[in-house]
Amino acid sequence: MPHSVLIIDDEEPIAWALRRAFEREGHRVAVAATAEDGLAKAKQNPPDVVFLDVRLPGMDGLTALGELKKRAPAAAVVVITAHGNLNTAVKAVEGGAFDYLAKPFELAQALDAAKRALANRNVGADSVSEDSGGSRPPLAEVDASPDAIIGRSPAMQTVFKRIALVAPTTACVLVTGESGTGKELVARAVHANSPRRGKPLLVAHVAAYNPNLVESELFGHVRGAFTGADRPRDGLLKLADGGTVFLDELADIPLPVQAKLLRVLERQEVQPVGGSESQQVDVRIVSATHADLSAAVREGTFRHDLFFRLNVYPIHVPPLRDRVDDIPLLADYFLRKFGVANPGGALPADTLAFLKARPWPGNVRELRNAMEHAAIEARGGPLRPEHFPEPSTTSGPASTAERLRSLVTEWVRKRVQAFEGREPADLHQALIEAVEPAVLDEVLRQVDGNRLVAARWLGLARATVRKLIRKYHPDTAEPEGDE
């Protein structure tokens, strides 16, 4: 069915491409290069869908959004922007925009947005925004806050849009992404842009807690619940009543605690350790993980029912390598944050090229630390590539051993949890069987399958190597004469 589409954008090539795409789909299209002209056209001919650019000569797009909603209340508005930040996305959602597209976008994305908009007309901002708009207190200028999320790349625009859409609701959010990508900042932004912003946001760094005390940290305890509990104490979930709890490193939550957490989500009540009575709480949970939680669910170390409860609305924060265009902006931001006078204003072009080309395994956190390091080395002069530390590495011999040890510790903890209070059995044998194939296979690979040499490298008898190969690779043919 043909619909009427209004495009308000002063960038001719974009308006032209959109017009052509929608006309091909059989829709009626009107184009305006200013908000004022767009509003007049909307009044004359109320559109079904409007594509509205934010940056326009004269009245800006976000102001026009409010006017449009008055003049053509049934129209679904898709806001488009090239340099939006979180504030733009939040304002677009608050103003009742149906969707938010970051330039440059593919035409297919625009067509898809229009299709969804038409299907959802009169539904409101989006299916996730339960109670957006209305009489909410004004927002702080997000970029000026210490928790500003810097970035203009399309990848970050998607993050902003998702924060803006979910913030006004009470939905649980799961933030995923590598370490140092800014997951905690995203969690803070969800809270700061939600109606709960006047209430506490409490952070539970689960990995840092003593495993025996995680439960009491989250749920509190009654007097005498355990040795040393000489006074009753509220847990984080109670202390954050009315607000938000940020659960960092979700994958580290022990299984028995996961069961209790599920109850909080299902019944909105907490039961302190050692207590028999439950207390009502109203908390929103935003959690984060850099681990593959679906794999943890498959392995049985994370409850699938809890995973689905917490993952109502996922936000993935991309690694810095997928948004290198944000590096100059971030570098500049950190220098200003550290109060470093940057002689000559912008960073030298060769330094910027160097920063964009080198790896950042520790993501934004590593960039932040590197900027601080370089500013000290440059001693007030321009920052040059030689002032920056080497990229962080986890492949040195010492750190590999350290990583292995900590992985083994994690492995043992999870195995023990999987026994859910029963006495674990055969842990040593299970560990050997988990690692032995890796040792065997890599040595065999390096010696081109020569079992005699492999036995020497491994410090094992040849017959033992043969036995191990049979055990882990029962389908491998025995080489001739190897009996």
Residues at the site binding ligand ATP, with contacts judged by CB under 6 A: 149-151, 177, 179-185, 248, 288, 290, 330, 364-365, 368
Q: Phi-psi region for residue 364, left (φ > 0), alpha (ψ -120 to 50) or beta?
A: alpha
Give 207 or 225: the residue with its C-beta nearer to ligand ATP: 207
| Whole-Å CA distances, 317 to 168, 290, 308 | 20, 10, 19
Distance in Å, CB of 421 to ligand ATP, minimum:
29
Write down the H helix ranges in 419-461.
427-446, 451-458
Instruction: Output the smallest distance, CB 187 to ligand ATP, in A.
Output: 8
Q: Nearer Cβ to ligand ATP, position 126 or 248?
A: 248
Strand pairing category for 28-32 and 4-8: parallel
Distance CA 353, CA 355 (A): 6
In the complex with ligand ATP, the residue whose CB is nearer, 288 or 458, is: 288
Residues found in the chain: 483
From the CB of 154, what's the least distance to ligand ATP, in Å? 14
Distance CA 169, CA 161 (A): 14
Q: Which two tokens stand for residue 163?
A: 């924060």
Q: Give the shortest CB-328-to-ligand ATP separation in angstroms.
A: 13
Nearer to ligand ATP, 95 or 177 (CB): 177
Residue in the shown chain whose Cβ atom is closest to ligand ATP:
182
Structure letter (DSSP) for residue 167: T
Q: Which two tokens stand for residue 62?
A: 């976000």
**Cα gap 67→49, rounded to integer Å:** 15
Q: Find out whether 148 and 337 touch, Cβ atoms under 8 Å.
A: no
- Least CB distance to ligand ATP at residue 403 (A): 15
Report in angstroms how near the CB of residue 363 gets to ligand ATP at its nearest.
Answer: 7
Instruction: For residues 424 and 439, give the distance between their C-alpha atoms in angstroms, rounded to a whole number.
Output: 25
- Nearer Cβ to ligand ATP, position 303 or 368? 368
Of 18 and 187, nearer to ligand ATP (C-beta) is: 187
Closest approach of Cβ 456 to ligand ATP, in Å?
42
Q: Which lies closer to ligand ATP via its Cβ, residue 59 or residue 329?
A: 329
Angle between helices 397-418 and 255-267 (to 10 degrees): 60
